[in-house]
Chains A and B, each alone.
Chain A
Amino acid sequence: MSNVVELEHVTKTFGKHVAVNDLSLNVPAGSIYGFIGPNGSGKTTTLRMIMRIYYPDSGSGHIRVLGEEGYGAANDRIGYLPEERGLYKKMKVREVLRFYAELKGLRDCHTAASDWLERMGLAEWANKKVETLSKGMAQKVQFISAVIARPELVILDEPFSGLDPVNADVLRDAVLELRRGGATVIFSTHDMAVAERMCDFVFMIFKGNKVLDGTLESIQNRYGQDTIRVCLAEGNGDLRGLEHVEKVTDFGRFKELRIRPGADTQAVLAALMQRGRVAHFELTRPSLHDIFVRIAGPESAGGANGRQSEAANVGRA
């Protein structure tokens, strides 16, 4: 399987701030690649570099996209949905779509546009101005504009943020169908559940450095089965101070316990039964969410909040 995107030792700095540091990444053809990471950690910068909107610092490695280095015809084969949506407010939906399709070299997009609008439930909005659309509708229009020219590589920066579950499902199905049609999909998200369910590969960047890269399984395997999901039917639910337990994450009804390496899970169960009726007890691998928090949360060495938000500000500039 060939790689659609190849980054080799790529660094990008803005002034003194290092947005992306010595990053290497390969995206195999036909895969769905999830980019995760806290705000301002370098996701968008990386995506922009793949789009050739930004160029890496001179002399800092190579980016090859669809077999091409540097800006070229390959960009016509890439669809891009930026994080912050941009549509001409005064244009009609169909005009916007035609404009973006023409920019990608697609001359006749009428049928494609109708099909997509139909699918996204926007058929009757085709001749309305963009400014009359709701936020969710505009987001779907923007998505169509990114994929209307049948790109081989689709780059979506947080495509699901702000969508209701119905629309999120519509969009997810569309993404999966693009993949079935042979396209490679890269998307960034803050929704770990989406990343877990959809992505063949997950890539996490934190403060410009790659911290995770691989299939979900290989990432989870690095952490082993160190998590217990528990639901207690009775009791006050306070699980603090349990022996062998490193950390308790309270989700309300369910709680996740991270146990110390090598600890006896039966002992934990016994201790739990002292606290109340155990309705659910599941030995599992850590969720992506949990892994994310372990790397980027307050408990991690580098995750001090103040510095993180500072990094976020500079990254946006």
Chain B
Amino acid sequence: MRKTLVIAVREYQAAVKTKAFLISLILMPVLFGGSILIRMLMRDRVDTRDKRVAVVDPSGQVFEAIAAAAAQRNEAEIPEDANRWQRDAGIYKVVEGARKQVRPRYLFEEVKPDGRPIEEIGFELSERVRNKELFAYVLIGRGVIEGARSPEGIVAYHSNSPTYDEIEDWLARPLAVRLRTLRAQQAGIDPAVVESVTAPAAVANLGLVSKDAEGRVKPAEATNILANIFMPMGLMMLMFMMIMIGAQPLLQSVIEEKMQRIAEVLLGSVTPFELMLGKLLGMVGVSLTMATLYLCGGYYVVHRAGYGSFFPSELMWWFVVFQSLAVLMYGAIFIAVGAAVTDLKEAQSLVTPVMLVVVAPMFVWMNIVREPSSTLAIVASLFPPATPMLMLMRQAVPPGVPAWQPALGIALVVLTTLVCVLLAGRIFRVGILMQGKGAKVGEMFRWALRG
């Protein structure tokens, strides 16, 4: 055990004392946070040039409403307060001179049909779009007000920018409001009555009601769907990154020891199993060092931001347990691969199937967060290779999981880890002293099974 620790300490120092470690330590949050930051910054970096849209309105009753709605939008919504980060709970203070245009204005112009066939007008307007005079044009069908179930009843939006759907999306609401008013008038109903009778009810997403220590009923709190989804996902991603970041140095150091013939010196002092275990413990140490830094940082940030209830501290302990097991389980496989190959390139192709298993939870996490107690979620989170990530994720979604599930999960993972370490140890023992060509997968299985 003493020698195992000596190996572990060296492995840990070799990994932590490098520039690469420091860089990846900084780079990971930068990559994660950066993508969010860039999206925030890029949000304002849109094309703010005016978008001109022609409207052909044979009825002559719709255009005015659209133009008015657009004018209101141009005035109220487009500019934003320059120091909007300080604004309070959505209350919008317009500071004169500090307003800055962050969205394009929509300018609608009416085109009168004047008895010309609609195809001809369409071609003419299309030409104007091609010449960049217009951004798009809208043909309002003759039967729209009546709600005709024919091509006449359609509002057609034509543009040469098929992926830009903001105008099309925006248009739907003023159109609907105007049509509702028109139809109500035709039916002889007061439009104000229609608006009030068709007003939708807001649905609030709340948690459950509980009692506090003194037996008083505590009102339910509003559910924060985003926090409830992103917290589990963040934890899963962190664990995934830890495994990925830990795997590379482990593979490299095994290959270095093998190819630089260091292994032979080491095996003169320790058994192959002690050597492998030492390396594994070193890697667990490295990944826990990183995870601790991120977790503590994340915990601090989350609690400061007032989302503390979504990140209870016991989740950190679960993370540490599952992280350690995951590293041991996957690390053993990486070590076996490293011992069986002769260079990193060869290793990569052998590791790919393992990586697929590591990545697998990424494909199902959304379903599992949505329905953490479905049969799929329970079965998937009890599948040992996926347990560390998925079980932790389910625990992070309120109200958590029954206690037997993480217990069973850990038992299964421990069992799998022991089997992995044992089999990998056999491959390691044979492979580490083999020179020349790398081993084939079949050979590795034979070493593992024969013992």
Report A's interface with B, CB cutoff 8 A: 48, 51, 53, 71, 75-76, 78, 80, 82, 84-91, 99-100, 102-105, 142, 145-146, 316-317
Contacts and interface: CB of A to CB of B under 8 A. Distances in A.
B265 A82 contact: yes
Contact of B263 (A71, A75, A86): A86
Interface in B419-451: 433-436
Given A53-B267, A82-B265, A103-B3, 14 more contacts: A51-B267, A53-B264, A53-B433, A71-B271, A86-B261, A86-B264, A86-B265, A87-B260, A88-B262, A100-B269, A103-B6, A142-B265, A316-B435, A317-B435
Contacts of B434: 317
Contacts of A88: 14, 256, 260, 262
Nearest to A105: B2
Given A86-B257, A88-B14, A317-B435, A104 B269 contact: yes
B266 interface: yes
B97 interface: no
Interface string B250-275: 00000011001111111111110000
| Residue among B6, B269, B271 with max Cβ neighbours from chain A (10 Å) | B269
Given A103-B3, A105-B2, A85 B269 contact: no
Contacts of B271: 71
7 contacts: A51-B268, A53-B268, A80-B269, A85-B261, A87-B260, A87-B262, A100-B265
A84 B261 contact: yes
A89 B267 CA distance: 18
Contacts of A91: 14
Contacts of B256: 88-89
Interface in B262-318: 262-271
B10 A99 contact: yes
B269 A86 contact: no
A82 B2 contact: no
Contacts of B435: 316-317
Given A88-B256, A102-B6, A82 B264 contact: yes
B260 A75 contact: no
Closest 6 CB pairs of A and B: A86-B262, A80-B268, A86-B261, A84-B261, A103-B269, A82-B264
A51 B434 CA distance: 17
Nearest to B7: A103
Contacts of B6: 99, 102-103
A85 B264 CA distance: 9
Nearest to B433: A53
Nearest to B437: A317
Secondary structure of the B contact surface, majority rule: helix
A48 B263 CA distance: 12
Interface residues on B, range: 20 to 34
A80 B266 CA distance: 9
Contacts of B3: 103
Contacts of A84: 261, 264
A90 B436 contact: no
Contacts of A317: 434-436
B82 to A, nearest CB: 51
A65 to B, nearest CB: 11
Nearest to B436: A317
Contacts of A76: 269
Nearest to B435: A316
A220 to B, nearest CB: 33
Given A100-B265, A103-B3, A89 B260 contact: yes
Contact of B261 (A71, A82, A102): A82
A100 B10 CA distance: 10
A78 B257 contact: no
A63 to B, nearest CB: 14
A69 to B, nearest CB: 15
Contacts of B264: 48, 53, 80, 82, 84, 86
Contact of B436 (A100, A145, A316): A316
Nearest to B6: A102
A86 B435 CA distance: 14
A75 B10 contact: no
A197 B401 CA distance: 76
A71 B265 CA distance: 15
Contacts of B18: 90
B184 to A, nearest CB: 79
A100 B265 CA distance: 9
Nearest to B263: A86
B14 to A, nearest CB: 7
| Residue among A78, A89, A102, A145 with max Cβ neighbours from chain B (10 Å) | A102
A297 to B, nearest CB: 27
Contacts of A89: 256, 260
Nearest to A99: B10
A90 B265 contact: no
B338 to A, nearest CB: 15
B340 to A, nearest CB: 14
A78 B257 CA distance: 20
A74 to B, nearest CB: 11
A100 B261 CA distance: 14
A82 B268 CA distance: 9
Interface string B111-123: 0000000000000
B195 to A, nearest CB: 74
B153 to A, nearest CB: 74
Nearest to B259: A86
Given A99-B6, A102-B6, A103-B3, A90 B268 contact: no
A90 B14 contact: yes
A75 B269 contact: yes
| Residue among B2, B256, B268 with max Cβ neighbours from chain A (10 Å) | B268
Contacts of A51: 267-268
A89 B433 CA distance: 19
Contacts of A86: 257, 260-265
Contacts of A105: 2
Contacts of A146: 265
Nearest to A142: B265
Contacts of B260: 86-89
| Residue among B6, B435, B436 with max Cβ neighbours from chain A (10 Å) | B6
Contacts of B433: 53
A84 B262 CA distance: 9
A145 B265 contact: yes
A51 B272 CA distance: 13
A82 B263 CA distance: 10
A78 B7 CA distance: 18
Nearest to B258: A86
A142 B268 CA distance: 13
